[in-house]
Amino acid sequence: MGDPQYLKYPQLALAQSLFTLASPSTSHSAKQASLTSLQDAIREHKMAPLYAYLAHPHHGKINASGESGSAMSPTLSRANPNTSSSGATLRRTSSINTTSIVGVLGGKMDRSVDLPWDEALYNELKADNEKELAAIAKEEEEATERAGETEIQAAQAKRAELYARIGDKAAALAEFEKLQEKTGILATKIDIVLAIIRIALFFDDKLLARHNIARATTLVESGGDWDRRNRLKAYNGLHLLTIRAHNLAAPLLLDSLSTFTSNELCPYSSLVVYATLAGAVSLPRRDFKSKVVDAPEIRAIFGADSDTDRLLALSGAPSAGTGGQDEEMTGDDNAAKDESSATPKPTAVNLTMLASGSASAEAQAAAEPKYDFKPLSTLINSLYTGQYSAFFRALSAVETNFLTQDRFLYEHTRWFVREMRLKAYTQLLASYRTVSLSSMASSFGVSVEWLDKDLAPFIASQRLQATIDRVQGVVSTVRGEGKGRQYNDVVRQGDQLITKLQKYGQVVRLRGSERS
């Protein structure tokens, strides 16, 4: 069906740079680096609309006076028919009501490093945009007079890509919708909708993303090729992650690890992080072991001892590192490690197929962000092996190094940390009928008072089937409710079925007597 189109813009890495610049949880050095990359991109791509949207002195999104303004916000009105209804699956995210490129921050922005407004620069960029638009209009006019429909659509596609490149959301969406109506090629229709989804992800418009993922799904199911079907899987998984549907996102993201081609969406290293976190918080223990802890794609990345080994793994070459051996845990709880969880060392994942366009897999691997995966590796392995003290330390490191540093994860940081603590508590208590608070606190490396305070909300909300006896200093698990509930359900449903069968028998006998 041809190579994918419209993949270059918008560049989602710019949205991450903007998040780093405005987030209160990022370091000053990271903010400075993000400011430099953002300014360079604005100049290189002539991004006048995005520059005004962000830094205008009166209604810019990241300046002190215009944080709540929307006069120059490139919002969608007519192109998104679903803006009036949020939907059940979007209720978990607070940013759904504040569609903005920095909406995930909830208004808590750090302006220690600011994006300065330069009126002369803005006018220069705007003039360049107008020249490009005039040239495209002239090309379209000539194509209308002398060429065919293909050349006309090519000019219109250039206009849509231009608006996507310079960050004019409303204009880009309008042009892509026009292009969608006029094209009859299924592959091109899918590419256009995928471009709209990336615009929605760039500006954190969750409703627009949901609507167009549904559109893309319909198109792909009507005859899309493998590559576009695979790309949509990654797009949908990332969108579900942003709306806190980790149980739905995990299968899609984990399946995408071995066939990932959507480099325009995120780097492969980031996909590994997203898939690991979604799987850790949502999958049951057996699936967690097979799909996350022992997943060869994840182990190949986590097992690399150095940047060189990691790049070798990404490019498909054999890794010289540990190659996926379980992380060695530090601390007194090493003896508790379950030797039976060890699995054979996997081979490096061959990601040479991920190269798109003229870029080689090696060049893509070299461009990957440099993550320290050790906290994440320790998190999943210590959770599975029951090394809860190491797990709590790793969870704190993951919160600091991953959750608070990524624009797709930031909004759900507190929820994720809370759910992972609950998962660890549930796993430990499943092995005991009664356990002392002091012993449990020692296992997690926390004080008895802190543990008591942390367990209480889970027990009160009945998410943890246990009771705390502070007089005896023990935590007692409440067993039998699950099976008892199932038994009562079977009895009740069986009684209803018998009643229905009796009524049906009476009706059949009555009709038989009428015929006789």
> How far apart, in whole angstroms, are the C-alpha atoms of residue 212 and residue 232?
11
CB atoms within 10 A of CB 473: 13
Instruction: Give strand pairing partners of 434.
Output: 476
Distances (CA, A) of 515 to 205, 328, 501, 505, 508: 64, 80, 21, 16, 11
| DSSP for residue 23 | -
> How far apart, in whole angstroms, are the C-alpha atoms of residue 239 and residue 233?
10
The answer for 437, left when phi > 0, alpha when psi is -120 to 50, beta otherwise, is alpha
pLDDT of residue 79: 38
* Phi, psi angles (nearest 5°) of residue 467: -135, 150
Instruction: Give strand pairing partners of 476.
Output: 434, 467
Lookup: tokens for 394: 């790793």
In sign, the C-alpha dihedral spanning 246, 250, 251, 255 is: positive
Burial class (CB in 10 A: 0-12, 13-18, 19+), 240: buried
CA dihedral 80, 83, 89, 94 (to 10 degrees): 120
| DSSP for residue 476 | E
Which distant-in-sequence residues (6+ apart) come within 8 Å of 116 by Cβ? Answer: 55
Residue pLDDT tens, the chain, 516 long? 567 888 888 999 999 999 998 888 888 999 999 999 999 999 999 999 999 988 888 877 877 544 433 333 343 333 343 443 344 445 455 555 556 777 777 777 878 888 889 899 999 999 999 999 999 999 888 888 887 788 888 888 999 999 999 999 999 999 999 998 888 888 889 999 999 999 999 999 999 999 999 999 999 998 878 888 899 999 999 999 999 999 999 999 999 998 888 889 999 999 999 999 999 999 999 999 999 999 888 988 887 555 555 555 555 444 333 333 343 333 444 444 443 343 333 333 334 344 444 344 555 555 677 788 999 999 999 999 999 999 999 999 999 999 999 999 999 999 999 999 999 999 999 888 899 999 999 999 999 999 999 999 999 998 888 888 888 888 888 875 556 667 777 888 888 889 888 888 877 776 666 665
pLDDT of residue 375: 92
> How far apart, in whole angstroms, are the C-alpha atoms of residue 418 and residue 455?
11
pLDDT of residue 301: 86
pLDDT of residue 422: 94
Enumerate long-range contacts of 309-312, CB under 8 Å, 24 or more apart: 310/269, 310/368, 311/362, 311/365, 311/366, 311/368, 312/348
Q: Which of 426, 335, 344, 87 is nearest to 435 (CA)?
A: 426
The answer for 244, left when phi > 0, alpha when psi is -120 to 50, beta otherwise, is left
3-state helix, strand, coil in the chain (%, to 5): 65, 0, 35
3-state SS string for 280-305: HHHCCHHHHHHHHHCCHHHHHHHCCC
Distances (CA, A) of 507 to 316, 503, 512: 69, 6, 9
- For residues 19-54, one letter each, b for 16 or more C-beta atoms within 10 angstroms of the residue's C-beta and e for the rest, the string is bbbbbebbeeebbebbbebbbebbeebbbbbbbbbb
Helix (H, G, I), strand (E, B) or coil at 100: coil
Burial class (CB in 10 A: 0-12, 13-18, 19+), 441: middle
